[in-house]
Amino acid sequence: MAKVYDILIVGAGPAGLTAAIYGVRAGRSVLAVGGKAPGGQLMLTTDVEDFPGFIEPIQGPELMQKMRKQAERLGAEFFDDDVIRVNFKQQPFEIETEQKKKFSAKTIVIAVGSAYKWLNIPSELKFKGNGISTCATCDGYFFKGKDVAVIGGGDSAMREALFLSNICKTVTVIHRRDVLKAQAVLQERAKARKNIKWIWNSDVQEFLGENKFSGVKIKNNKTEKGTTIKVSGAFVAIGHEPATGFLKGQLGLDAKGYVVVKNQTETSVPGIFAAGDIRDFRYQQAITAAGFGCMAAMDADSYLQGYRALSEKAGKKNGNKK
């Protein structure tokens, strides 16, 4: 008979890996199904300077590798493939991966994180991966010495612009407002770079080019004036959305696709817990994802110990005798 894991974790970014570490440390059998490209957003990040414990900046992939090795040393098993189907309507729960591998578990921690948001304009599709990217660390080198644009005004946009400014001739940041959303330290660093230019209050209307990407058509949303910016590449950095498509119909999701949770980690199905960016549209930091991973594994362990759902307990404490 196929093995039934105590805790199966879907996702191997900071949330999933922390859940794996806490799960095995609680004496549970743990399998993490990490996706075809495990490690999450940090695999595409360079310097991480805000994860406690590292005096000097650590590279995102190195941080993920260390967390994974720690989980493996403690006894967690890994399988790297995308989960495409889940069945949470039976116990043990079941998941199926793209390679048609099926795994069963008594509890599941969903920690699949989020995916890049795109502008979703028709011309974007034409040049995706061929002039337009969402990942400067992956694709920036193709534009060495050239002029590029970054679209967005948050932390991601600043990080992309800073990274690209080391490789490219100029980086033009196009933002829809005249105030950045990014944290002050990143704003200051970007504004201090001489080859980063700024275009404010402007929306991208179209990505231009016949066969080859050649520029961005923008419109100032205050003056209505249209302009064309000639660039060889454009990086869309307008945030992320939860990668929860495969959970539709199985778990409660909100209108934007985030997993609905109560008591921090409990989903609409008892025994299924959520951690990281898929339940957090506010903080979205590696350290908060790791914290949620810890909570989810501890709650899965409590569930396995035969505890009633934490919410029931909390309800009774508050006088709810049902």
In 3D, which of 92, 228, 88, 237 has the Cα closest to residue 162? Answer: 237
Nearer to ligand NAP, 95 or 234 (CB): 234
Strands (E), the chain: 4-10, 30-33, 47-48, 58-59, 77-79, 83-87, 93-97, 102-110, 114-116, 132-133, 147-151, 170-174, 196-199, 202-208, 215-220, 226-230, 233-236, 240-242, 272-274
Quote the tokens at residue 78. 């890994």
Task: Kindly state the smallest distance separating residue 43's Cβ from ligand NAP, in Å.
Answer: 12
Nearer to ligand NAP, 176 or 197 (CB): 176
Collapsed DSSP state (helix, strand, coil) of residue 266: strand
Q: Is 135 a catalytic residue?
A: yes
Nearer to ligand NAP, 199 or 269 (CB): 199
Quote the tokens at residue 175. 């933002």
Q: Of 135, 147, 277, 299, which one is the catalytic site residue?
A: 135
Q: Cα 25 from chain centroid?
A: 25
Is-cis flag, bond preceding 52, omega within 30? no
Binding site for ligand NAP (CB under 6 A): 45, 48, 50, 119, 152-157, 159, 176-177, 181, 238-240, 283-285
Nearer to ligand NAP, 104 or 156 (CB): 156
Q: Of 47, 50, 138, 178, which one is the catalytic site residue?
A: 138
Q: Is 168 a catalytic residue?
A: no
Task: Kindly state the smallest distance separating residue 47's Cβ from ligand NAP, in Å.
Answer: 8
Task: Kindly state the smallest distance separating residue 60's Cβ from ligand NAP, in Å.
Answer: 8
Q: Is 139 a catalytic residue?
A: yes
Task: Kindly state the smallest distance separating residue 303's Cβ from ligand NAP, in Å.
Answer: 29
Q: Of 80, 81, 82, 139, which one is the catalytic site residue?
A: 139
Question: Which positions are annotated as active-site residues?
Answer: 135, 138-139
